[in-house]
Structure 1
Amino acid sequence: METNTEPQLPYMPGLAGVPAAESKVCDIDGQKGILFYRGYPIEELAEKSTFEETSYMLLYGQLPTKEQLDGFTHELVHHRRLKYKLIDLMKTLPETGHPMDALAAAVGALGMFYPHINVMDAAQRHGACVRLIAKLPTIVAAFHRMRRGDRDVLPNDKLNHAANFLYMLNEQEPDPFHAKILDTCLVLHAEHSMNASTFSARVTGSSLADSYAVVASAVGTLSGPLHGGANEDVLDMLQEIGTVENVIPWLDKAQAAKRKIPGFGHREYKVKDPRAKILQRLAEQLFARYGSTPLYDIAVKLESVMEERVGSKGIYPNVDFYSGLVYQKLGIPMDLFTPVFAIARVSGWLAHWMEQLENNRIFRPSQVYVGAPPRSYTSIDRR
């Protein structure tokens, strides 16, 4: 029996540093803490853009004209509603299930309601993107209300994307300032290069699966604790610390136990995540208007002490460190934090899906075989 004698490339756990695609969607300079969507700095987009505008730009490469944005926004509003059979399906899901699992199930089911998409047809791709961006907030809000025994709330066509999500959660029009803060959060989370869920989306898309399967696979990847959910862990940590005075004693014990500190460190950034800087400012704006929380003071103290201890190693706050504090102040339940991430990131996933299809080749990486050498089958009575 012959074995493969071709020279093998070195194995890189997690494909660390291995380029998996050429992309025009996003660029990161982790040494300087710079993030661009399609060449636009994240700071400018967070200050001046909206989620609808940013989504269009991610999908099509340029900021839209007013006419293009008005048309795109109209399409999103028109496609917010869910088929009643999908609502009935979601009602059968267990109330104790995690919202991310409900989201993955519902997105997968969407593909059955909108079948036979030709992924190579630009108009059909556009329609699929609009439906997914528009419907994900409705799915998340509907499941949240159903699990509490409440009826789902129909979308409000007069509200923008972020405000409508808050409305569907609570059945009342949100404070415009709250809606603006959430809109900025969605912009910040809309895209971030070749992360795990985006890679899943591109791998699934490379098989020419439809957009619903692509997004369902990305949602499944995001549901893992090493990708999504870190902002929940940050809040749990801050509550565990309890007081500003306990930051140093708690951190001493945590570091002695070699415990991972949630919200710190990033595979890309060796400085403070630029999104964390913006989220911290958003938190401060919220607290200035509506009152602060002791958890924020604990977070600021923890960041200061961590910078003294591990800043030289390039370990600084990432996007998750302050986002949970913002979502908590907006009244969003903790187990919806990662679904809100998905509501934002779907635009980036779809931008990468469409880019993958431009010059597609199915992903088929190699492996390093470390199993048994060639051997013969032994009958069961001789084992």
Structure 2
Amino acid sequence: MELRKGLEDIAIKETSITFIDGELGRLYYRGYSIFDLASFSNFEEVAYLIWYGKLPTRHELDDFKSRLAEERSISDEIASLVKRTAKTANPMDVLRTSVSMMGLEDKDDGELITKSMKITAKIPTIISSIQRTRANLDVIEPDPSLSHSENFLYMLHGSKPSRERSRMLDVGLMLHIDHEMNASTMACLVVASTLSDIYSSIVAGISALKGPLHGGANSEALRQFMEIGSQENVEKYVLNRLSSGQRLMGFGHRIYKSLDPRAKIIKDYLSKVSKDEETQRLFDIATKVEEIGIRILGKRGIYPNVDFYSGLLFHFLGFDLDLFPTIFASARVIGWSAHVDEYLKDNKLIRPKAIYVGDLGKKYVPIDER
């Protein structure tokens, strides 16, 4: 039996959701290039595409947006949980427990995608409530007249965002909706394969995403830029970090051996928007880190991934650093649930093997003789 640590390059299902070409740096959702979707589409339309396998008509999209908007409010019990825990708990723990409570509260025998829509709609309400509670600010109720991203930023800041900012969040969320069979998606499928419920699957996904090797890298990349301080310090910092055997945060990906297309898209958006002085300084540092990092690591197929610039984007939009993984989760719920739905159409209990390397035939020694 061959040992494949991390299940690397082990396929467990066929999919029509996402295709990744790691050598050429290409990413497709349901056959559509991520570059086209980021240029012409929006969060709700891409969510519909992922869940239903096709782009919606105008009528279908309007109806879909209304259904999502209707589900944004959270129960008094979940609101109370957030209020009690926001200032002391890890935001991913608050989110994970909130989704568990959603499962307790949902008594409807509805379809998996309908339940997934409820989770997707409510998560921004939870995230914004965490940040505002920690800042001793009143929680803002959702506005059903706003789009998903507009409402997210409205609940976060208490004022309606500019079109430029809501568009940036739209793009940031779209780029995180799915990425094929990563650790958190696999966690969701393991739970779903037992025929458990979608809430349990999403809780598993959030739990896996909480780990710093998966969902926490974007905040670490941003902290790296903050630590560097200025463009003049970049080369020395990068060389010292690499020579001491440390990773350059936001560089490298198991699949991509060229520039992650999501990183390119976010960088392009950040380069065009009107930035405050701090964001411009951090962006200039990031581009210098990218330049030097590629010069050194590019020959080994190590390039910036989506985390390299996404933390800077979320910071620019006003999210606290430790909330970044929850934003990631708010979008990835769509991919998680779509993969669960797809897998269950031809379900097989996921039960891998382990290679035993211990002793056999040991003689049992009574406890008084040990």
Shorter chain as normaliser: what TM range? over 0.9
Aligned length: 369
Q: Does 1:30 align with 2:22?
A: yes
Q: Does 1:352 align with 2:339?
A: yes
1:255 lines up with 2:247 in the alignment: no
Q: What is aligned with 1:207?
A: 194
Match in the other structure for 2:228? 241
Structure 1 residue 91 displacement after superposition: 2.5
- Structure 1 stretch 325-334 or stretch 212-221: which is displaced more? 325-334
The 5 A counterparts of 1:143-182 are 143-182=130-169
Q: Deviations over 1:126-169 (max 9, x none)?
A: 32022011111111111222233333211011110011011111
* Residue type at the aligned position of 1:32: L
Partner of 2:365: 378
Shift of 1:190: 0.6
Quote the residue 2:267 is aligned against: 280
- The equivalent of 1:42 in structure 2 is 34
Find the partner of 2:76 among 78, 81, 84.
84
Q: Normalising by structure 2, report the TM-score.
A: 0.96
Structure 2 distance, partners of 1:178, 1:74, is: 22
Q: What residue in structure 2 maps to residue 120 of structure 1?
A: none
1: CA distance between counterparts of 2:134 and 2:320? 13
**Residues 1:254 and 1:126: Cα distance change in structure 2 (over 3 Å):** closer
The separation in 1 between residues aligned to 2:154 and 2:62, in whole angstroms, is: 21
Letter in structure 1 aligned against 2:29: Y
Would you say the 8 A contact 1:99–1:144 is kept in 2?
no
Residues 116 and 75 of structure 1: CA distance in aligned 2, closer, same or farther (over 3 Å)? closer
Instruction: Report the 3-state secondary structure (helix = DSSP H, G, I; strand = E; otherwise coil) of the residue aligned with 2:215.
Output: coil
Q: Is 1:142 aligned with 2:103?
A: no
Of 55, 64, 70, the residue aligned with 2:47 is 55
Whichever residue aligns with residue 242 of structure 2, its letter is Q
Of stretches 311-320 and 232-241 in structure 1, the one that deviates more from structure 2 is 232-241
Residue type of the alignment partner of 1:12: R
Amino acid of the residue matched to residue 33 of structure 2? P
Q: Give the aligned residue type for 2:193.
A: S
Structure 1 residue 110 corresponds to structure 2 residue 97 = no
How far 1:116 moved relative to its partner? Answer: 6.4
Secondary structure at the aligned position of 2:20 is classed as strand
* C-alpha separation in 2, matches of 1:131 and 1:311: 42
Q: Which residue in the other structure is 2:10 paired with? A: 18
Which residue in 2 is equivalent to 1:71? 63
Mapped to 2, the partners of 1:208 and 1:149 lie a distance apart of 41
> Residues of 2 paired with 1:374 and 1:165: CA distance?
61
Q: TM-score, normalised by structure 1?
A: 0.93
Superposed CA deviations along residues 99-150 of structure 1, whole A, max 9, x for unmatched, are 1111011011110000464xxxxx5223202201111111111122223333
In 2: Cα distance, 1:35 partner to 1:157 partner: 32
Cα distance in 1, alignment partners of residues 104 and 330 from structure 2: 20
Percentage of identical aligned residues? 40
Root-mean-square deviation (CA), in Å? 1.4
Counterpart code for 2:40: K
Offset of 1:349 from its aligned partner?
Answer: 0.7
Q: 1:376 deviation in Å? A: 3.2
Matches within 5 A, 1:285-300: 285-287=272-274, 290=276, 293-300=280-287
Q: CA deviation at 1:297?
A: 1.4
Which position in structure 2 is the counterpart of 1:329?
Answer: 316
Note closer, same or farther for the CA distance 1:94–1:166 as it changes in structure 2 (3 Å cut).
closer
Query: Does residue 315 in structure 1 map to residue 302 in structure 2?
Result: yes
- How far does residue 290 in structure 1 lie from its aligned partner after superposition? 4.9
Deviation for aligned residue 1:207: 1.1
Matched letter for residue 75 of structure 1: R
8 Å Cα contact 1:100/1:338 also seen in 2: yes
SS in 1 for 2:327: helix
Deviates more, 1:341-350 or 1:324-333: 324-333
**What is aligned with 2:116?**
129
Aligned residues of 2:86 and 2:131 also touching (Cα < 8 A): no
Quote the residue 1:361 is aligned against: 348
Does residue 194 of the first structure (1) align with residue 173 of the second (2)? no
Which amino acid counterpart does residue 201 of structure 1 have in structure 2? C
- 1:179 CA displacement: 0.4
Please say which of residues 273-282 and 370-379 is displaced more in the overlay: 370-379
Quote the offset at 1:323 in angstroms: 1.0
8 Å CA contact 1:33, 1:269 repeated in 2 = yes
Distance 1:116 1:201 in 2: 21
Contact 2:217 2:307 in 1 (8 A): yes
CA contact (8 A) 1:46 1:187 kept: yes
